[in-house]
Chains A and B, each alone.
Chain A
Amino acid sequence: MDGFIELRGIRKKFQGVPAVDDASLTLKRGEVFSLLGPSGCGKTTLLRILGGFETPDAGRIIIDGQDISDLPPNKRPINTVFQNYALFPHLSLWDNVGFGLKMAGKSRKVIDEEVERMLELVDLVDHADKKPHQISGGQKQRVAIARALINKPQLLLLDEPLAALDLKLRQRMLLELDRIHDEVGITFLYVTHDQGEAMSLSDRIAVMNHGKIEQIGRPVEVYEAPSSSFVAAFIGDTNFFKAHVSGTAGEDYSRLSIEGLPDVQAYNDKKLQPGQQVFLSIRPEKFRINREKPVDTERYNTIHGKILDIIYLGSNTKFRVECDGHILMITQQHARFMLDTTPLTWEEEVWVSWNADDGYMLQRYEEADTHLLNLTAEDAVP
């Protein structure tokens, strides 16, 4: 069902500085939706507005056709897993999980049954009598989830729930969260600055920056078809090229001229006309590196360059290649086996090629976003 939860034009300023600037979202029933962005992008403010802890300056929140914008937190069909878990230190895990039902005035019997069920869901029945300070971070996390789910909310908010856990535990909890979501089927709104978490868990992602939503889409959409240089640079790594449309190349493709390079082709989904300026984003793994010049094929771009750096990372190898004043970051999986039998070395002359479909035209470009790239500033695109 479409439009189960709707945020319309949410705005919030703190001391005159916009934290959330005209954010609109639509969540489908049962989906895992992520708000992804760097710290200070407004994602937590948006979450707190949804939870009822902040009052927006403007905008409405509608859940299942009901406007809940003016309801206090305790009247909203929304529960939250807080970043630091916020477990009640004076209560046992059992009473922590049962808190919501107790507030709802449920009978002892109902509370006992439900708490038992929730603790089973998160596999903590054996620890029910412990206090929060007696359990580990991962266990606290699971208690927080059980406590938030027991009231059967229409929407579960998760505020950087894995941020306080170490890497191994984080990966385990991701799988755990996925399992819990499959079991309870509640809509999840997941706030994180970690693109890996967002990509692996979410059905859809909203990428936020400076209080604005930059792009909403499935993980593959935001990765493969970023709308802005921010999205392209924040999610994964990329290479930017400043180009002019110099002509057409078949029906859907354009010929682009980039300073210092031979003309390249790119898929023109933006319907740009010759003469217009455009910024191109090409992911590092989209490039192929070869010692020999590849045979020209219709939709392939090939340029000549020289290897500056090789960073061997085991599962892949990163190359920094200089092509006529442009410095490219290129990633090759299993480089050894895909390339010539003798591995590439520094200073070697190579051919770099990519498919015309893999150069993606951006709608918006900000010079500042190049700082998000793994390249250092002086190495960035001139």
Chain B
Amino acid sequence: MNQRKWREWAISLPSMGWLVFFFVLPTLLVCSIAFRPRSINGGIGEGWTFGTWLDVLQPSYPLVVWRTLWLSAATTVICLLLAVPVAYWLARLSREARNWMLLLIILPFWTNFLIRVFAWWSLLHSEGWLKHTLVWMGVASPDTQLLYNEWAVLLVLVYTYIPFAILPLFASAEKFDFGLLDAARDLGAGKLRAFMSVFIPGISQGMITAFVVVFIPALGSYAIPEIVGGPQSEMIGNKIAQKVFVDRNLPHASALATLLALVVLLPVIYSIITQRKQKRTGGTKRQ
């Protein structure tokens, strides 16, 4: 190993070590627990078994997994749709105005996440301010329930994750050469067409990052559906929590967590493989 390579390794060693000890090993531990029997007192029993996995295949789960997937996907799509124009707008602002706006965007982080979710709960509550306003406007009837359904969960998910979508998209948009939009307009593209055919590909890296930082955490949501959702809007995170705290069935919870991790990992692995292949063949060919 030459000196430079060695130095590169040395620099990344602390963070690599951190990741291995506090992320990779715990994940593998959780995976392994999924193959252990449960003990009667709520702990982990002796020996190995595949029994838990048979339990996980029970018919109520596909619905929860499906709901988790679509809520996360919808959250991601809505966040991207809203965040892309914001990123574009931010990147075109003057430096000073932009810094103020960025501050406003990250301002909610100064309040505890749970408190913000509870704030939504009180807004959406039957006696809440939002509900009253809607009734007063005649949009909702007094017995409309805003809380405890999938829409409430989706709303709060979007609210929670949108800053995470805006920031990477803005980072990309800031580096984007807006002269390219002029060039596209010059060559006959309308405003929207120029935006779609030049700006969107131009910030694709930010789109990928935004997708990852919204979709993956959304999949693991637990507190939001717990507080503003109801029994009909449970996500897989709630199931895992229920298995840990209520049923005291750690192997079952581990199996569900492993399942979730696989759902996240498989597309990532797939994209890494296809990207490698693309690199090897030397880019895209003329269509």
Q: Could you say which residues of chain B place their CB within 8 Å of the CB of A52?
A: 185-186
Q: Could you say which residues of chain A place their CB within 8 Å of the CB of B189?
A: 74, 99, 103
Binds A, one of B48-56, B75-83, B198-206, B222-230: B198-206
Q: Could you say which residues of chain B place their CB within 8 Å of the CB of A103?
A: 184, 187-189, 193
- A128-156 residues with Cβ-Cβ distance < 8 A to B are 128-129, 131, 147-148, 151
Q: From the candidates B194, B198, B283, B286, name the one contacting A94 in the complex (CB within 8 A).
A: B286
Number of contacting residues on A, CB 8 A?
Answer: 29
Q: Does A100 contact B (CB under 8 A)?
A: yes
Minimum CB–CB distance for B151 against chain A, Å = 37
Complex alpha-carbon distance, A103 and B185, angstroms = 10
Whether the Cβ atoms of A151 and B187 lie closer than 8 Å is yes
Q: Which residue of B lies closest to A48 (CB)?
A: B182
Q: Does A88 contact B (CB under 8 A)?
A: yes
- B177-227 residues with Cβ-Cβ distance < 8 A to A are 177, 179-180, 182-191, 193-194, 198, 201-202, 204
Whether the Cβ atoms of B179 and A73 lie closer than 8 Å is no
Complex alpha-carbon distance, A128 and B193, angstroms = 24
Q: Is the interface of A mostly helix, strand, loop or mixed?
A: loop
Q: Does B15 contact A (CB under 8 A)?
A: no
Which of A73, A92, A94, A103 lies at the interface centre, i.e. has the most chain B CB atoms within 10 A of its CB?
A73
Complex alpha-carbon distance, A312 and B188, angstroms = 53
What's the A-B contact tally at a CB cutoff of 8 Å?
Answer: 73
Q: Does A353 contact B (CB under 8 A)?
A: no
Q: Does A109 contact B (CB under 8 A)?
A: no
Q: Does A168 contact B (CB under 8 A)?
A: no
Q: From the candidates B183, B187, B201, name the one contacting A90 in the complex (CB within 8 A).
A: B201
Q: Could you say which residues of chain B place their CB within 8 Å of the CB of A73?
A: 182, 185-186
Q: Does B284 contact A (CB under 8 A)?
A: yes
Q: Which residue of A lies closest to B283 (CB)?
A: A131
Q: Does A82 contact B (CB under 8 A)?
A: yes
Whether the Cβ atoms of B204 and A128 lie closer than 8 Å is no
Complex alpha-carbon distance, A73 and B189, angstroms = 9
Q: Which residue of A lies closest to B188 (CB)?
A: A103
Minimum CB–CB distance for A23 against chain B, Å = 21
Contact mask A258-281 → B, CB, 8 Å, 1/0?
000000000000000000000000
Contacts A88-B198, A90-B204 given: A129-B286 contact, CB under 8 Å? Answer: yes
Q: Does A331 contact B (CB under 8 A)?
A: no
Q: Does A313 contact B (CB under 8 A)?
A: no
Contact mask A94-123 → B, CB, 8 Å, 1/0?
110001100110000000000000000000
Contacts A89-B202, A128-B286, A129-B285 given: A104-B188 contact, CB under 8 Å? Answer: yes
Q: Could you say which residues of chain A place their CB within 8 Å of the CB of B284?
A: 92
Which of B180, B183, B283, B286 lies at the interface centre, i.e. has the most chain A CB atoms within 10 A of its CB?
B183
Complex alpha-carbon distance, A30 and B204, angstroms = 41
Contacts A74-B190, A94-B286, A129-B285 given: A88-B180 contact, CB under 8 Å? Answer: yes
Minimum CB–CB distance for B282 against chain A, Å = 9
Complex alpha-carbon distance, A82 and B184, angstroms = 11
Contact mask A66-102 → B, CB, 8 Å, 1/0?
0000001110001110101011111010110001100
Whether the Cβ atoms of A86 and B185 lie closer than 8 Å is no
Whether the Cβ atoms of A82 and B286 lie closer than 8 Å is no
**Residues in chain A within 8 A of chain B (CB atoms):** 51-53, 72-74, 78-80, 82, 84, 86-90, 92, 94-95, 99-100, 103-104, 128-129, 131, 147-148, 151
CB pairs A–B below 8 angstroms (15 shown)? A51-B182, A52-B186, A73-B182, A73-B185, A74-B186, A74-B189, A79-B186, A82-B182, A88-B198, A89-B202, A92-B286, A99-B189, A103-B187, A103-B188, A151-B187
Closest 4 CB pairs of A and B: A103-B188, A86-B183, A100-B187, A73-B185
